[in-house]
Copies of this chain bind each other. A is one copy, B any other.
Amino acid sequence: MEETLIPTALCPKVEHAFEILGKKWTGLILRHLMTKTCRFNEIQDAIPELSGRMLTERMKELEAEGIVIRTVIPERPIKIQYSLTDKGRQLEPVIRSIEEWAELQD
């Protein structure tokens, strides 16, 4: 028997959100940035298993998504600051609810 399928396509916004959060390290990086503006190495120190290579890659992605801003502080020495945009700060309930769930577990 043949059937005409009009597949209930997933909403692209929701799909995209899960795509961003579904990448390794993204959640933990955002969690750290929730508390304060951070320098590159601060994030690395906070998440020891995260390599510099991966952190660079994730920060570029998050910047491209408009979730994070990268700022060059033109002092001597030059510093790079990463902070959340409004869009990034709006992810706070997501990060908070994950942490709350985590704390409930045995």
Interface residues of A (CB under 8 A from B): 7-11, 13-19, 21-28, 31, 45-48, 87, 90-91, 93-94, 97-105
Contacts and interface: CB of A to CB of B under 8 A. Distances in A.
Contacts of A101: 17, 90-91, 93-94
Contact of A97 (B18, B97, B105): B97
Given A8-B46, A47-B10, A18 B105 contact: no
A10 B22 contact: no
A9 B24 CA distance: 18
B98 A21 contact: yes
18 contacts: A8-B46, A10-B28, A10-B46, A16-B105, A17-B101, A17-B102, A18-B28, A18-B31, A21-B21, A21-B22, A21-B98, A22-B23, A22-B24, A22-B27, A90-B104, A93-B93, A93-B100, A94-B94
